[in-house]
Copies of this chain bind each other. A is one copy, B any other.
Amino acid sequence: MAHRFLTLLTDFGDADGFVGAMRGVILSRAPAARLVDLAHHVPRGDVAKAARVLARSAPYFPAGTVHCVVVDPGVGSDRRAVAAAAGGQRFIAPDNGVLGATLDALGGPVEVRIIENPAAMRAVVSRTFHGRDVFAPAAAWLAAGGALEAIGSPAGSLVRLAGTAPEVDGERVIGRVVEVDTFGNLITDIPADGPVAVRIGGQALVGPRPSYSAVPAGALVLVTGSLGTLEVAVRDGSAAARLDLGVGAACVASPAAAESGA
């Protein structure tokens, strides 16, 4: 039988055993599933961050992988629990926008269902821990060979996060910081295509430079991030701390030739 990977992405941290309980539920129902972690220290309830973490990692997994995402500030509300398929992979998540960027990157969903089948959840479902009672068993059900179509009725369109497309104003692109990573790097939504001059937090930077190492330790540097957009970093330091900026901060990019000719 092919390897069947089942990944977990949560905001549960590593201190309480919530992820441990999910792992137990999964391995009781799909003992051959091979568990893999994407991340568990996503900031609590930060769906937009979780969406980026998923988009950064899920596409690299082999076909057949099941991804189980539980960043779910709406647990117990009427938000739906859904299952989706795209690019040969399958996903289990709350319908809160967390899957959007990844499904887009994989060519769009080929099937989206509401999780309704009692066989795909625990017999008693709490109102506070759907990670254990709904999402883990649903992911296990898929990993154990269950058909996506049997998990529930068609879901129609999914909730989308508010768009983050940068604004184009003539030659200028007005974007923003969409993520701050563990290193304090400021990741923007401006595609990195060609030399640019950037203004952010009162600083002017030219780039993208080939790597963080292109500048001395402690200096600001503009690079191309791992998802292909402009990223502002401090070599061996934190750009977020240096510039006192976070998600939502404005970043304006102009073609470097125009800028250098000014």
Contacts and interface: CB of A to CB of B under 8 A. Distances in A.
Contacts of A213: 74-77
B23 A37 contact: yes
A24 interface: yes
A54 interface: yes
Residue among A14, A40, A60, A61 with the highest chain B CB neighbour number at 10 A: A60
- Stoichiometry, as copies per complex, reads 3
B128 A223 contact: yes
A56 B128 contact: no
Nearest to A38: B20
Interface in A94-125: none
A147 interface: no
Contact of A21 (B41, B60, B236): B60
B128 A61 contact: no
A251 B19 CA distance: 28
A16 B11 CA distance: 11
B223 A57 contact: no
A7 to B, nearest CB: 7
Interface in A1-23: 2-3, 5, 7, 9, 12-21, 23
Interface stretch (A42-50, A242-250, A253-261): A42-50
Interface string A17-36: 11111011101100110011
A140 B4 CA distance: 18
A159 interface: no
A167 interface: no
Contact of A24 (B13, B53, B59): B59
Contacts of A13: 41, 182
B56 A127 contact: no
Contacts of A24: 36, 57-62, 65
